[in-house]
Amino acid sequence: MKPEIERVYRNRYLTDAEAKHYSELRRIVEEEFGAPDVDSPSVAGVLTEELRQAIRDSGRSYLEISKQTGVSPRLIERFVVGERTIPLIVADRLAGALRLHLTVAPS
């Protein structure tokens, strides 16, 4: 059985101790896995740009896409404007909603 994960929203600013704690956690994770370079061509590659452009070209609002995919409209917006990356499962949901299919381009 999969454990339930509850999303927690903050309704206040972090205390100095909490901010220090989260900074330390971030440092440990980045030390182990490396810090993401969102400007790197390997991260912002062909699929990412195609998906961003498909969302822009769809003529649909972020809210409309959100209702169909279960992905927050804010996350969609931040992805489209390049403020953040998204996990593959989210990209898959967005591609499905936009009726996109992966094909091999001629060489």
What are the residue boundaries of the structural domains of the chain, listed by start? Answer: 46-97
* Burial of residue 33 (number of CB atoms within 10 Å: 0-12, 13-18, 19+): exposed
- Cβ-based neighbour number of residue 30 at 10 Å: 11
Percent of the chain with pLDDT over 70: 89
Structure tokens at 17: 């101790």
The model carries a pTM of 0.58
In the chain, the amino acid numbered 49 is E
How many C-beta neighbours within 10 Å does residue 36 have? Answer: 11
pLDDT, tens only, 36-72: 665 555 445 788 999 999 999 999 999 999 999 999 9
Mention the CATH class of domain 46-97.
Answer: mainly alpha
- With a cut of 80, say whether residue 2 has pLDDT above it: no
